[in-house]
């Protein structure tokens, strides 16, 4: 018995869904909005007062019906999947009793044959009594059931200047228009992996666990530039370690982050120190990470946990390089790729994938990360000075990891103050790291970066407001002789 | 010339020298602080605002104004840079509101949105890109 009742409820639910009412009462008062929802009203306005109001707060009013068949005015409904054996109801009248002829038509247009309008209803107004409100019930043929149509409720007239008023349009059907594609009938969407994302929009059309991939910072790589003498000021050539970076974030149909892929290209080492490099995902717990996949081992500088993040860290810390000088041995003298007098060394690429969802599931006991949880604010790259794991150099005001020794803060030129979340800045707010949203050329060894990029100081003094494009190759922006251009 | 007069002249010279030094010192500071006059200024002389983070990437907020409910079919809302880089994409219906932070190059004043055939240039004002789906009424239905 219970089973029968359940089946009855299920059937009724389906019937109810299919019997959705399509209605238009014009009470939004916004013709543009209704047009965007695929309720078109050519030649008409929405009026909201006086004797022209049929009911509610707004009524549709056509233009003066004088142009005959070439100038129909009225309402075109959205495409909808009809139920058949239904009635279309509406109310209408003329504004004043004049004109030679006035006729109200209801046409039906099939999505399968859009050039043909079949007439469902015709009413010739009796001009003398045309201002009397009429309520109509128009039968919709049974053979329309389950098919996609739209209705045209149109008034046509010759002579005079009267207009038609229309309100309270209702019929049964399922909304089947696509407002985002010019109000065409909804098309059957190809979705090979059935994840709800159309193949045309799905970057992973055959993988239900992935849907989209976005890149950061933009279509080209970003650049990280470090000074490595912290807590002392350096020479501000910002080439002690130079890396390009690119982050690709893969999400699924539910906007959950599946994985983030990091590409780091080590380009230059401008000193003698054996520096490492890692990054922290601020506010992202290390427990959220299922695994870290690397193109090469992180090296002996780090102790890793089972998921590949660094041990003893609250937030996920991802070791990248233990000793950059081992990846790019110097071709002579001190440093790599900072002097034109020394042979060029090919950059080294390290790729890392941080997985947050596997087979659609987050790490055990964890909730999924969404795109709302992760953006550039979370990306906290840092240099590790000369194999001293506890000596980290982060970007200005970026937090140190758990492993950073705090005894360097507020010593020498550093003016950090953990109590006020002020980190890695001098008294004059100068940094030890730059993060640029483009692949830029760095300066030669010992050449201050501001002599290569002539608008950098303007940018800094303005707090990043002016010359946001300081790194671009525009007239007056760069002194190429100070840059490391091979 | 009396001793007093000589002293007075000496004092005036000292004052003038101090005034000159003060003027030139002040000029230096102005040179650093005035963005129009920084050519040749060393980064070491710069005093940057305390809140400046020395990044040329930033975060903006996109705010999507939803439409009244119609179909439950979802599509991908894409936000791209002027250069065409895909900055953000999310599957949503037209009647879903959305407020989301996304990362963009600093100084971004415009982004491009697309949702199906709806494509618009969106101004970024005070770090916010307000997005809606409204288009003008098509000519044939005006």
- Write out pLDDT tens, residues A143-161: 999 999 999 999 999 988 9
Inter-chain contacts counted by CB atoms under 8 A, chains A and B: 214
Q: Enter the tokens of residue A46.
A: 């929405």
- Residues of chain B short of pLDDT 70, as ranges, are 1-40
B 75-114 near A (Cβ less than 8 A): 75-76, 81, 83-91, 94, 100-107
- Put simply, the answer to whether A468 touches B106 (Cβ < 8 Å) is yes
Contact B61, B129 (CB under 8 A): yes
Q: What does the pLDDT read at residue A1?
A: 46
* pTM for the structure as a whole: 0.82
Q: What does the pLDDT read at residue A67?
A: 81
Determine how β-strand A222-226 pairs with β-strand A212-216: unpaired
> Rounded CA gap, B68 and A34, in Å?
10
Contact A399, A317 (CB under 8 A): no
Interface test with A, best of B29, B46, B47, B55 (most A CBs within 10 A): B55
User: Looking at CA atoms only, how far is residue B95 from chain A in angstroms?
Assistant: 11
Q: What does the pLDDT read at residue A286?
A: 97
Show the DSSP H helices in chain B as ranges.
Answer: 3-33
Order of strands, edge to edge, in the sheet holding A392-394? A315-321, A276-285, A379-384, A392-394
- Residues of chain A short of pLDDT 70, as ranges, are 1-19
Chain A residues touching B116 at Cβ < 8 A: 178-181
Q: What does the pLDDT read at residue B15?
A: 44
* Phi/psi-derived region of residue A284, left when phi > 0, alpha when psi is between -120 and 50, beta in every other case: beta
- Establish if B137 touches chain A: CB-CB under 8 angstroms: yes
Chain B residue closest in CA terms to A465: B107
Q: Which of B51, B70, B101 sits opposite A175 (nearest CB)?
A: B70
Q: Does domain B57-131 have CATH number 2.60.40?
A: yes
Q: What does the pLDDT read at residue B39?
A: 57
User: Looking at CA atoms only, how far is residue B135 from chain A in angstroms?
Assistant: 7
Domain boundaries of chain B, sorted by first residue = 3-37, 57-131
What pairs with residue A211 in β-bridges? none
- Put simply, the answer to whether A196 touches B71 (Cβ < 8 Å) is no
Q: Enter the tokens of residue B73.
A: 């079919």
> Rounded CA gap, A75 and B132, in Å?
24
Chain A residues touching B48 at Cβ < 8 A: 428-430, 460-461, 463
Q: Which of A375, A433, A434 sits opposite B102 (nearest CB)?
A: A375
- Put simply, the answer to whether A460 touches B103 (Cβ < 8 Å) is no
Q: What does the pLDDT read at residue B13?
A: 54
User: Looking at CA atoms only, how far is residue B97 from chain A in angstroms?
Assistant: 14
Report the SS3 class of residue A473.
coil
Q: What does the pLDDT read at residue B24?
A: 38
Chain B residue closest in CA terms to A472: B56
């Amino acid at each position: 018995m219970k089973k029968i009742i359940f089946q009855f409820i299920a059937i009724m639910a389906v019937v109810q869904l299919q019997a959705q009412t399509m209605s238009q009462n014009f009470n939004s008062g916004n013709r543009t909005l209704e047009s965007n929802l695929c309720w078109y009203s050519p030649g008409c306005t929405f009026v909201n007062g006086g004797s022209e109001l049929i009911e509610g707060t707004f009524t549709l009013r056509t233009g003066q019906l004088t142009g005959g068949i070439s100038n129909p005015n009225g309402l075109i409904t959205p495409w909808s999947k009809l139920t058949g054996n239904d009635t279309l109801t509406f109310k209408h009248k003329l504004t004043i009793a004049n004109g030679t002829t006035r006729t109200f038509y209801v046409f039906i247009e099939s999505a399968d044959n859009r050039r043909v309008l079949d007439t469902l209803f015709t009413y010739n107004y009796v001009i003398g009594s045309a201002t009397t409100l009429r309520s109509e019930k128009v039968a919709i043929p049974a053979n329309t059931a389950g098919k996609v149509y739209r209705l045209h409720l149109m008034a046509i007239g010759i002579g005079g200047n009267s207009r038609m008023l229309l309100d309270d349009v209702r019929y049964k059907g399922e909304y089947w228009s696509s407002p985002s594609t010019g109000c065409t009938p909804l098309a059957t969407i190809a979705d090979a992996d059935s994840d709800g994302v159309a193949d045309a929009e799905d970057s992973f059309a055959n993988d239900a666990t992935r849907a989209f991939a976005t890149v950061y910072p933009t279509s080209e790589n970003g650049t990280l530039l470090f000074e490595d003498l912290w807590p002392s000021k350096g020479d501000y050539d910002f080439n002690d370690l130079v890396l390009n970076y690119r982050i690709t974030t893969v999400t699924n149909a539910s906007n959950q982050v599946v994985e983030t892929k990091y590409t780091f290209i080590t380009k230059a080492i401008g000193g003698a120190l054996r520096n490492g490099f890692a990054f922290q995902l601020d506010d992202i717990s290390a427990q959220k990470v299922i695994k870290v996949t690397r193109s090469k081992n992180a090296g002996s500088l780090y102790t890793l946990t089972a998921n590949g993040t660094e041990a003893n860290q609250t937030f996920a810390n991802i070791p990248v390089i233990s000793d950059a000088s081992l990846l790019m041995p110097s071709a002579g003298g001190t440093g790599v790729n900072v002097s034109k007098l020394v042979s060029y060394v090919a950059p080294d690429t390290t790729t890392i994938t941080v997985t947050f969802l596997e087979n659609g599931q987050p790490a055990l006991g964890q909730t999924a990360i969404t795109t709302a949880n992760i953006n550039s604010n979370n990306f906290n790259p840092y240099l590790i000075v000369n194999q001293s794991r506890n000596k980290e150099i982060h970007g200005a005001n970026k937090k140190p990891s758990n492993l950073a020794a705090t005894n360097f803060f507020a010593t020498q030129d550093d003016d950090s103050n953990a109590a006020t979340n002020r980190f890695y800045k001098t008294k004059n707010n100068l940094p030890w790291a730059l993060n640029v949203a483009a692949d830029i050329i760095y300066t030669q060894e010992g050449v201050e970066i501001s002599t290569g990029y002539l608008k950098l100081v303007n940018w800094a003094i303005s707090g990043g407001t002016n010359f946001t494009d300081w790194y671009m190759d525009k007239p007056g922006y760069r002194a190429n002789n100070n840059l490391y251009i091979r | 010339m009396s001793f007093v007069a000589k002293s007075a002249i000496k004092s005036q010279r000292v004052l003038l020298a101090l005034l000159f030094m003060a003027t030139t010192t002040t000029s230096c500071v102005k040179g650093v602080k005035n963005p129009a006059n920084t050519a040749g200024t060393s980064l070491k002389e710069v005093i940057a605002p305390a809140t400046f983070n020395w990044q040329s990437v930033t975060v903006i907020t996109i705010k999507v104004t939803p439409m009244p409910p119609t179909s439950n079919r979802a599509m991908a809302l894409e936000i791209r840079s002027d250069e065409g880089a895909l900055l953000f994409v999310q599957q949503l219906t037209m009647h879903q509101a959305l407020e989301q932070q996304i990362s963009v190059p600093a100084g971004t004043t415009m982004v491009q949105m697309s949702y199906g055939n709806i494509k618009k240039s969106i101004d970024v004002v005070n770090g916010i890109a307000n997005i809606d789906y409204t288009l003008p009424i098509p000519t044939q239905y005006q």
